[in-house]
Amino acid sequence: MSHRPEPSNPRQLSLFDDAVSAPAALSTLSAPGLPAGPFAAQPPSSATPTEAATENTTEASIAADVPGAASAAATAAPATAPAPEFRHPRSQRELLLNGHRVGYELRRSRRRSIGFVVATEGLSVSAPRWVGQAEIEAALREKSAWILRKLQEQRERGARLAAAKVDWREGGSVPFLGDTVILLLDPRTTGAVLHTEAQALPGVPRLVLHLGLPQGAAAEQIRDLVQSWLQRQAKRVFEERCALFAQRLNVRMTRLSLSSASTRWGSASRDGSIRLNWRLVHFGLPVIDYVVTHELAHLREMNHSPAFWDVVRSALPGFEAARGVLRHEVLPEL
């Protein structure tokens, strides 16, 4: 989860997360240790707002550890599988990094340093026009461990996104409040009605959403009806949780509204307005309660100082666990 820099006199603060599914989660890095002059650090480019080019500094938005390059030890062991390859769909160059063949996209720009961006597509490299290919490859080799780790993380993230994609048909499923809801086309139903199967076997989803649609309904019809139902439930649940935690924090919320922001879970304004991303309804209550508490706490501390986190902790001890889920969980692609 990352936060935008706070203005000196903030009127609104927002809660951000790198794991929202709409934009690709990025890992960015600038090549350190380069000589001064044409390789000096420059501020982030407005064309790539998530990329920070800094000298001798690494900024990575994904932090899970994955195995590095395969070892060549164990001479008595059977032949090992070839090392995974990583290839950007717009790759023009390729390089062997610790036994892994990496095809990358190279972009020339006016920037003053060599920058790397690892997204679900693969590795993109930005370099000044006057930097030679040998220097670019040297920078890549110097940071090969970081690049390979991030490429593997993004490949795994892409697989999780693909697995989480909703199949808009009868028998498909969507996450709701941390549980699984099965979709059922039921022309006898008006709108969408949630049924609970109290006698469901262990491991079998107990929630079934009956949709008032014919058996031949198109995927778009099913998606629109389910999303409309999810948004209504989100408003209901958020209002309940906001009322509970506003009382705990002794603050007054003047207005609650839903948002569909692609990179923002919530925001708070000095006038008491709270905005929450409706897709939080996919998560269990502990995560929803964390975002609600975070935004309501801003009505007392419009910053992210230690005093702010003390306010959050006073209403929600142990919030760190929920924040971790919010950072790393993959939402379904709707």
Provide φ and ψ at 161, rounded to 5°: -60, -45
As a whole number of Å, the CA-based R_g of the chain is 24
Residue 159's pLDDT is what?
Answer: 82
d(CA 150, CA 125): 14
Residue type, 137: E
Residue 71's pLDDT is what?
Answer: 39
Q: Are 327 and 291 in contact (CB under 8 A)?
A: no
Query: Is the C-alpha dihedral spanning 181, 186, 190, 196 positive or negative?
Result: negative
d(CA 213, CA 222): 8
Domains and CATH numbers, the chain: 25-164 (no CATH), 173-328 (3.30.2010.10)
d(CA 162, CA 91): 22
Provide φ and ψ at 107, rounded to 5°: -120, 130
Q: Are 103 and 87 in contact (CB under 8 A)?
A: yes
Q: Please measure the distance between the N-terminal and C-terminal CA atoms of the chain and give it in whole angstroms.
A: 21
Which whole-number Å values give the CA distances from 36 to 51, 56, 131, 140, 295, in the listed order? 20, 12, 13, 18, 43
Residues 6+ apart with CB under 8 A from 288: 177, 237, 238, 241, 280, 281
Question: Over its length of 334 residues, how does the chain's per-residue pLDDT go in tens digits?
Answer: 333 333 333 344 555 433 333 333 455 666 544 433 332 223 223 333 233 332 332 222 222 222 333 333 334 445 566 778 999 999 999 999 999 999 999 999 888 899 999 988 899 999 999 999 999 999 999 999 999 999 998 888 888 777 778 899 999 999 999 999 999 999 999 999 999 876 555 666 689 999 999 999 999 999 999 999 999 999 999 999 999 999 999 999 999 999 998 778 999 999 999 999 999 999 999 999 999 999 999 999 999 999 999 999 999 999 999 999 988 887 877 7
Closest residue by Cα to residue 298 from 243, 252, 237: 252
Burial of 79: CB neighbours in 10 Å, binned 0-12, 13-18, 19+? exposed
Provide φ and ψ at 37, rounded to 5°: 95, -120
DSSP 150: H
Residue 4's pLDDT is what?
Answer: 38
Closest residue by Cα to residue 139 from 46, 49, 39: 39
Closest residue by Cα to residue 136 from 107, 165, 157: 107
d(CA 269, CA 64): 33
